[in-house]
Amino acid sequence: MPPAFRLVARPLPLWLGHVLRTQRGPVHGGAVVRGALAMLPLLLAAVADRPTAGVPAALG
């Protein structure tokens, strides 16, 4: 295989490893409410047929 196509396994950055880490135990109700509130602008924009307008609002 040519060197240009060789895959190299690299360790994940710390911030990405933290995001992808599985959570032990149940999800707290406050986290569910925060997720639902963050999704609300995107849902409203999708209903108004402008989903790209809701993405920045949903990201915060």
Q: Which residues 6+ apart lie within 8 Å of 52 measured at CB? A: 45
Is residue 50 domain-resident? yes
- For 1-53, the pLDDT digits (tens) are 566 667 778 888 998 888 888 888 898 999 999 989 888 888 898 899 988 88
| Res 52: pLDDT | 84
Residue 40: closest CA among 60, 58, 28, 55: 58
Q: What is the pTM of this model?
A: 0.48
- Judge whether 18 lies within some domain: no
Q: Does 41 map to a domain?
A: yes
pLDDT at 19: 84
Count of structural domains, the chain: 1
Domain region containing 59: 29-60
